[in-house]
Amino acid sequence: MTSNLKLSELKLSKLKLSERLALEKAAKPQTVISVKPRNPNFIQDKYKKDANENTQSKSSSNSNSSWARSDKQLSKQDDSKKDAPKSNLAKRSDPYSRNYAKSNAVNAANVGKSKSPFKSQTQFEKYAHQPRFIAAEILDAIEHGRSLSECFEPLSAKLNDADKRFTQFLLYGALREYEALNDRLNQMMHKPIKASESIVLATLILAIFEATSMRTQDHACVNLWVETIKQRQKTWAIGLCNGILRNILRDGLPSVNTHLGRVNLPNWLWAKFSQDFPKHAQQMSVYYQTHPVMSLRVNLSQTTREAYLQILKEHNIDAYPHQFVKSAIVLKEPMGVNSLPFFKTGMISVQDASAQFATLLLNPCDNENILDACAAPGGKTGHILEIAKPRKMIALDVSAKRLTQVQDNLNRIFGLDGNNDKNNDNNNHTDDFISNEINKNLNIKLVSEDILNYAPKNDLFDAILLDAPCSGTGILHRHPDIKRLRQAADIVPLVQLQARILRHCWNLLKPGGRLLYATCSSLKAENEAQMQDFFADVTDAQEIPIKTDFGIAQLHGLQILPIAIDEPSADYLNYPQKMDGFYYCLILKSLD
C-alpha cells in the first residue's frame, strides 16, 4: 500500500456483529493455560517509565510504518500457531497486577494522580477535552487495574455530554470485542509494542473498533486517530497507526485466528464457563458481546404493572412485561431515566429482572427485622421497602460514599409528597433533615461498616439479603472491563471471603429466619460449590427449594445464565427475555 493512496479510494469494511461471530460455531475449546498469581504487594503506576521513552523512535505520518505487515506477510502466517493466545505487549514480569487489598474508594482517589507521561500536567490538560484521547487514557487505566466506573468520571470531566456518550460507546464496544480486536491487530504487526508503551496499544484497539464498527467517515477516522497519537507525543507510532487504519479501510479486517478472539473472553474464563456449563458456554460468550437490555421495576405500592405499561404506551415508549418477574418491565430500547414518566416520584426504578427476583425470593414481610448486608447502590433496599413495612431494617455497606446512593434512592422513591426534583440533582443530596424523616418513617438505618465487623446490639434478624461480593462474571455485557480486570488467581480468595461473610451473616439470623445468598456470578465455585461447603459445615441450615419456570436448578440453589435461547431444554427452561447472570440460594435456620 502506497502512502499517497487517496482515502476516497478506501472502502470501510462494516462487519455486523453476527458476521463477526459466525466463525464461533465451528470453534473448539482451548486447553487451559495457567495464570501466574498476582503479586499482592504490587503498587500500580501506569506511567512507570522514563520520560525519554516518549521520543525514542521517529516515523513519518505520511508513510506506512515498518511495524504494519504487508498482505504477503499476512498470508504466510503459521497456521499451527493460530489458536495460541498472543499479546501485542512485550513480556513483563508481572503484567497489569492489581492490589485487590485496596478498596475501590482508594483506587478512585488515586485516579489521575499517577506520574504523567508529559512534561507537565498542563500539557496533559491541553487535550483533556478530546474524546479519543480520553478514551485511550481510560482503556489504558483499565489495563493497569482500575475499573471503568472508577476512572471514567474523573478522566472525562472536561468532555461535554455528547463527547462523554461517544467515549462511553467507544470504550464499551472495544472492551466487549477486545480479544478479537487484539487478535486482528496482532496479525497486522511485525513485533509487539513495548510494555511501557501500553497507551499506544490502547489507542490502536480503539481506533480499529471505530474504523470497523462506527459510522465515522473514513478520512476523519484515520486523521483523528493519527492526531491522537501525535497528541501523545508518540512520533514513532504515527506511521504505525496510519498504516494499520489505511490497510483496514482498503482491505477490511483479517479473520480472527484464535478461539479466544472468537469468543471474546480471556482464556481462564472461557475454560471456567466450558467446565461449569459446557452446553451453554458458547451462548454465554455471544450474549456477553451484546448490549444489555434496560429493565424497570414497578413500585407496586404506587401502581400496577399494567397501569404503568399503559402510561408508557401513551408516551410512545415501547415496552413489554417480563414473563416471569411480576414487577419487571423490559424496554425495547434503552433511554435516559429522566425521560421515563414518574421516575422522579419513585413509581419505577431501573433494575434488571434478575436483581428484582432476589427480593421477591426473600419475600420480606411487615414487622420483620431485615438486614440488607451489602446494600449499595440500594436497588434491593428500595425494593424491600416497596413490598413491606419492617419493624427495623439495616442497610449496610462498607463504603460510606456508596451509601449516599442508597439514601438518594430512598429519597427519590419515598420522598415527601413525591416532590423529589431536588433529589434527582446529581450535584446535590437531600438535606439531612428530609433524609432522616424518610428513614424514620421507613424504620431503616444506613450503616457504613464492614459486614464482618458488624454485630447488632439488640435482637437478631428475621430475614437477611446477602448479595455477596463476587467476580461479576454474570454481568460482563454490562461491565466488560471485568474481563480485563479479573484473573484466575482472584477467584479462590474471593470464594474464601464469601464463605466468611455468609457464615457471619448466618450468626446474625434468628432461629426460624431465612437468608438469601445471591451473586451476579456465573461461576460454580462462587455459587453451587459455595453452598455445598456451607451445608456440609452448618448443621442448622435447611434449603428452601426455589420453584420457577426458568433457569438451571443446581444441587443447591438456582442459576440464571446470561443467555437467551429459543427452545427449552432438559436442563434449561425457555425464557424469551434476556436477564443478567445471577445465582440464588434460599436458606432457613432451624428452630432447634
Nearest to 322 by CA among 303, 298, 340, 345: 298
From CA 541, how far away is CA 93, in angstroms rounded? 46
Per DSSP, the three-state class of 230 is helix
Strand partners, 519: 583
The answer to whether the bond into 377 is cis (omega within 30° of 0) is yes
589 by DSSP, 3-state: which?
strand
Instruction: Tell me the three cell numbers of residue 205.
Output: 484497539
Q: Is 434 exposed, middle or buried (0-12, 13-18, 19+ CB in 10 A)?
A: middle
Distance CA 304, CA 165 (A): 33
457 three-class SS = coil
The Cα–Cα gap between 266 and 126 comes to: 35
* 3-class DSSP string for 108-168: HHHCCCCCCCCCCHHHHHCCCCCHHHHHHHHHHHHHCCCCHHHHHHHHCCCCCHHHHHHHH
Q: Strand 444-448 vs strand 461-467: parallel, antiparallel, or unpaired? A: unpaired
Distance in angstroms (rounded) separating the CA atoms of residues 349 and 487? 33
Grid coordinates in use for 358? Answer: 432476589
- The torsion region of residue 419 among left (phi > 0), alpha (psi -120 to 50) and beta comes to beta
The residues, ordered by sequence, that sit 6+ positions from 171 with a Cβ below 8 Å of its Cβ are: 135, 138, 139, 148, 152, 206
Give residue 562's Cα distance to chain centre: 13
Q: Which element (helix H / strand E) includes 314?
A: helix 305-314
DSSP string covering 70-90: PHHHHHT--GGGTTS---SB-
Q: Are 466 and 518 in contact (CB under 8 A)?
A: yes
Q: What CA dihedral angle connects 276, 278, 281 and 283, to 10 degrees?
A: -140
User: At 477, which helix (H) or strand (E)?
Assistant: none
- Could you give the C-alpha distances from 188 to 1, 72, 140, 159, 192, in angstroms and in order? 13, 11, 21, 32, 10
Positions marked active-site: 520
The continuous run of DSSP H or E covering 364 comes out as: none
The Cα–Cα gap between 203 and 408 comes to 37
Cβ-based neighbours of 339, under 8 Å, separated by 6 or more: none
